[in-house]
């Protein structure tokens, strides 16, 4: 599905505007840990071409806006988010729009981010354009209490005058406002450094950056980044799991080495603890931080490392998912761009399923067979949505509840990072092939599949990715388990969002081949009446018997009489009623 820029009010054509920001400068303020409330603000410029290291400055938190799209939001990983996303401001009874740009006069870097972990030098940001453009801009906020912290906000202005405002929610220090940054066109930007504390806990510092004067019709203000630190206070440690690595398959049972890199910006790391989910595996108190995990049984594991510094503050690493597997089964997978038209009936000889034909007809599947592909289980907290502009159109002629469909470009999707879908299919020693049709918009996908007996390595793919648009893939999984009664589980989620508001993953259909005899649906063909005779035919499967029945009426209490019983041949058979009455109903039961 496509998405547009977030809009407050009506739309406007702002294409072709030239936006640029001069370099910003970083002003490091001395720490002030007094208990009294304070709001002290300074500003400076950064030299053109310099790079601001958000990881080094934002020891408590940092945010960068506009890496890929106008809604891209990257922030410090493994900490509780404190700097809010921006709120778009507009003039009274006006409208405001936000756009991404990539020609800022200085760059930004980070090494501890999410969803993008590391960036070396990005000159990106966002800009607000109002109708009228006067007083349009951005608002952000951070929590505030008696602890003195420093917030730095990186801003710019094009063709006008910018106004910077800051206020504590309890009013315990005077508000701040400054409207001295002005440019005829492109020009120098600023970093505003705010040292602040409130008189009581549970307060908020609110910052506004708006356009207060116009030098040319396209005047606008820009926002790139913000950092938060606590001068003189303790900074949390930094930790990353080194081994095992994400998506690693390990032959088992096995002894696994867990290792982590850990450091502390203003102290020492006291210990690093290693966890499988919520279960502690072990700990290490000296570098290199490493432990051995013996006799790990086949299974799927989610591993983390937690570092504790000398002030007692902790940080937990990004989780790493691994699979320990045994032998006896097989699971191989691949992904590629799907065809523009897919016949689900022809491809799904054992079973097929399609999602999203309409909101009132969400699921269609292969008729006259036992369902093997499960329904969707949603992963995450967002609701299922529907769309109608899929790359591939899906057709079928043996479906239920819709028997025939000539081609539907429809599917379902969910918004949000780590949200997605799960489906399952049966597995045993018989070889099967499952195909899953999926897609995304403004996101990085993670497709994974594993057998419930872990008799083969899991399959992972991160190939489906598009920062600014739609993309599609059909994943083909060939598999068999070592033991009967097993399950193949498939999960597809948004691993990263390039578009923080509209990023999503989609799923449209799945087909299954193999795994036993393919049963043809029982469809009565060529019904013909001649005098007192009535006959029809139907396609049979070898090894099954078929009982044809007739009744004078349809109803819950109306009996059905056996007309004949015959054995399936694998071909078409005919049935004749020699003494058909004026009105009769017929049905065939496969046994």
Q: Assign residue 312 the CATH number of its domain.
A: 2.60.40.10
In the prediction, which pLDDT does 542 show?
A: 78
Asked if residue 126 and residue 39 are part of one domain, the reply reads: yes
Angle at alpha carbon of residue 461, lines to 460 and 463, rounded to 5°: 170
What element of type H or E holds 299? strand 299-309
Task: Measure the CA–CA gap between 393 and 338, rounded to whole angstroms.
Answer: 10
Asked if residue 574 and residue 444 are part of one domain, the reply reads: no
Q: Which residues contact 164 (CB under 8 A, 6 or more apart)?
A: 41, 43, 153, 155, 176, 177, 178, 179, 181, 190, 192, 207, 208, 209
485 occurs within a structural domain:
yes
Asked if residue 423 and residue 307 are part of one domain, the reply reads: no
Structure tokens at 97: 């729009």
**């019904």: which residue's tokens?**
527
Q: What is the dihedral of CA 76, 78, 79, 81, to 10 degrees?
A: 60
39 occurs within a structural domain:
yes
Asked if residue 542 and residue 413 are part of one domain, the reply reads: no
Contact status, residue 44 vs residue 132, Cβ threshold 8 Å:
no
Indicate the length of the chain as a whole number. 591
DSSP strand pairing (420-427 vs 385-387): unpaired
Kindly write down the DSSP assignment for every residue of 405-463, as one continuous string.
Answer: EEEE--EEEEESTT-EEEEEEEESSS-EEEEEEEEEEEEEEEEEEEETT--S--EEE--
Nearest to 316 by CA among 420, 249, 240, 210: 240
112 occurs within a structural domain:
yes
1 occurs within a structural domain:
no
Task: Measure the CA–CA gap between 161 and 182, rounded to whole angstroms.
Answer: 4
Number of domains in the chain: 4
Residue where a domain stops, chosen among 514, 537, 571? 514
Residue 45, domain CATH: 2.60.120.260
520 occurs within a structural domain:
no
Nearest to 221 by CA among 99, 123, 94, 128: 128
Burial of 463 (0-12, 13-18, 19+ CB in 10 A): middle
Q: Read off φ and ψ for residue 360, nearest 5 degrees.
A: -95, -5
94 occurs within a structural domain:
yes
Asked if residue 33 and residue 166 are part of one domain, the reply reads: yes
Angle at alpha carbon of residue 230, lines to 227 and 234, rounded to 5°: 125
Asked if residue 257 and residue 209 are part of one domain, the reply reads: no
In the prediction, which pLDDT does 518 show?
A: 58
519 occurs within a structural domain:
no
Asked if residue 212 and residue 342 are part of one domain, the reply reads: no
Asked if residue 425 and residue 289 are part of one domain, the reply reads: no
Residue where a domain stops, chosen among 494, 514, 534? 514
Q: Which residues contact 227 (CB under 8 A, 6 or more apart)?
A: 54, 57, 58, 61, 62, 63, 83, 151, 152
| Exposed e or buried b per residue across 257-288, where buried means at least 16 C-beta atoms within 10 angstroms of its C-beta | ebbbbbebeeeebbebbbbbeeeebeebeeee
Range of the domain at 444: 330-514
Kindly write down the DSSP assignment for every residue of 462-522, as one continuous string.
Answer: ---EEEEEEEEEEEEEEEE-SSSSEEEEEEEEEEEESSTTT-EEEEEEEEEEESSPPPPP-
Residue where a domain stops, chosen among 229, 250, 273? 229
pLDDT along the chain (591 residues), means of 10: 30 28 33 66 91 93 94 89 94 86 94 90 94 91 94 95 96 95 85 96 96 92 95 81 96 94 90 97 96 96 96 91 97 96 96 96 92 96 94 96 94 95 97 98 96 98 92 97 96 91 95 79 85 86 85 80 87 85 82 77
Asked if residue 75 and residue 18 are part of one domain, the reply reads: yes
Task: Measure the CA–CA gap between 67 and 206, rounded to whole angstroms.
Answer: 24
Nearest to 222 by CA among 353, 65, 26, 114: 65
Angle at alpha carbon of residue 355, lines to 351 and 360, rounded to 5°: 125
Task: Measure the CA–CA gap between 201 and 120, rounded to whole angstroms.
Answer: 37
Task: Measure the CA–CA gap between 219 and 91, rounded to whole angstroms.
Answer: 14
Bond into 238 cis (ω within 30) = no
457 occurs within a structural domain:
yes
Residue 427, domain CATH: 2.60.120
Lateral strand order in the sheet of 341-343: 341-343, 393-396, 405-408
Radius of gyration of the chain (CA): 32
What element of type H or E holds 352? strand 351-358
Asked if residue 100 and residue 42 are part of one domain, the reply reads: yes
In the prediction, which pLDDT does 145 show?
A: 92
Task: Measure the CA–CA gap between 215 and 210, rounded to whole angstroms.
Answer: 14
Asked if residue 460 and residue 372 are part of one domain, the reply reads: yes
Asked if residue 410 and residue 294 are part of one domain, the reply reads: no
In the prediction, which pLDDT does 3 show?
A: 35
Task: Measure the CA–CA gap between 104 and 190, rounded to whole angstroms.
Answer: 12
Cα atoms in the Cβ-side hemisphere of radius 13 Å centred on 320: 23
Lateral strand order in the sheet of 289-296: 238-243, 254-263, 289-296
In the prediction, which pLDDT does 4 show?
A: 31
């Amino acid at each position: 599905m496509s998405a547009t820029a977030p809009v407050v009010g009506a739309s406007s054509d702002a294409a072709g505007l030239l936006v640029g920001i001069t370099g910003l400068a970083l002003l490091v303020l001395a720490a002030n840990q007094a208990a009294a409330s304070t709001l002290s603000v300074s500003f400076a410029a950064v030299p053109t071409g310099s790079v601001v290291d958000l990881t080094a400055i934002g020891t408590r938190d940092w945010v960068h806006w506009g890496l890929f799209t106008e809604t891209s939001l990257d922030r410090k990983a493994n900490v509780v988010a404190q700097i809010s996303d921006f709120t778009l401001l507009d003039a009274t009874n006006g409208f405001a729009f936000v756009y991404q740009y990539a020609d800022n006069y200085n760059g930004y870097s980070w090494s501890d981010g999410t969803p993008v972990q590391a960036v070396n030098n990005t000159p990106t940001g966002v800009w607000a354009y109002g109708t009228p453009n006067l007083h349009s801009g951005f608002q952000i906020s951070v929590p505030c209490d008696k602890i003195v912290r420093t917030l730095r906000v990186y801003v710019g202005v094009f063709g006008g005058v910018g106004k910077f405002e800051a206020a504590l929610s309890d009013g315990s220090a005077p508000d701040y406002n400054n409207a001295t940054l002005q440019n005829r066109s492109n020009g120098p930007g600023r970093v505003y450094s705010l040292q602040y504390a409130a008189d009581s806990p549970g307060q908020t510092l609110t910052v506004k950056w708006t356009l207060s004067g116009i030098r040319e019709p396209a005047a606008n203000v820009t926002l790139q980044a913000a950092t938060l630190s606590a001068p003189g206070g303790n900074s949390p440690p930094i930790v990353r799991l080194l081994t095992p690595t994400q998506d690693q398959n390990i032959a088992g049972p096995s002894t696994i080495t867990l290792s982590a890199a850990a450091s502390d910006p203003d102290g020492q790391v006291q210990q690093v603890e290693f966890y499988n989910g919520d279960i502690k595996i072990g700990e290490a108190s000296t570098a290199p931080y490493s432990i051995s995990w013996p006799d790990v049984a086949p299974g799927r594991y989610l591993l983390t490392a937690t570092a504790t510094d000398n002030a007692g503050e902790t940080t937990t690493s990004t989780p790493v998912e691994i699979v320990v597997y045994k032998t006896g089964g097989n699971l191989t997978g691949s992904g590629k761009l799907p065809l523009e038209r897919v016949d689900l009936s022809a491809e799904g000889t054992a079973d097929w399923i399609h999602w999203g034909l309409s909101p009132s007809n969400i699921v269609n599947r292969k008729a006259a067979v036992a369902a093997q592909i499960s329904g969707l289980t949603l992963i995450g907290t967002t609701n299922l949505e529907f769309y109608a502009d899929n790359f591939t159109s899906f057709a079928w002629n043996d479906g239920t509840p819709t028997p025939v469909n000539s081609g539907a470009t429809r599917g379902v999707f969910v918004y949000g990072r780590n949200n997605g879908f799960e489906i399952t299919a049966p597995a045993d020693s018989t070889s099967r092939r499952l195909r899953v049709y999926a897609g995304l918009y403004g996101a990085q996908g993670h497709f994974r599949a594993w057998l419930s007996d872990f008799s083969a390595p899991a399959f992972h793919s991160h190939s489906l990715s598009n920062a600014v648009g739609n993309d599609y893939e059909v994943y083909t999984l060939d598999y068999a388990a070592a033991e009967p009664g097993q399950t193949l589980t498939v999960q597809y989620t948004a691993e990263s969002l390039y578009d923080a508001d509209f990023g999503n993953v989609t799923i449209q259909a799945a087909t299954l081949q193999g795994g036993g005899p393919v049963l043809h649906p029982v469809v009565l063909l060529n019904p013909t009446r001649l005098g007192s005779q009535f006959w029809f035919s139907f396609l049979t499967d070898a090894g099954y018997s078929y009982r044809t029945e007739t009744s004078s009426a349809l109803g819950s209490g109306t009996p059905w009489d056996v007309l004949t019983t015959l054995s399936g041949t694998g071909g078409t058979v005919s049935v004749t009623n020699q003494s058909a009455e004026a009105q009769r109903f017929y049905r065939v039961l496969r046994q």
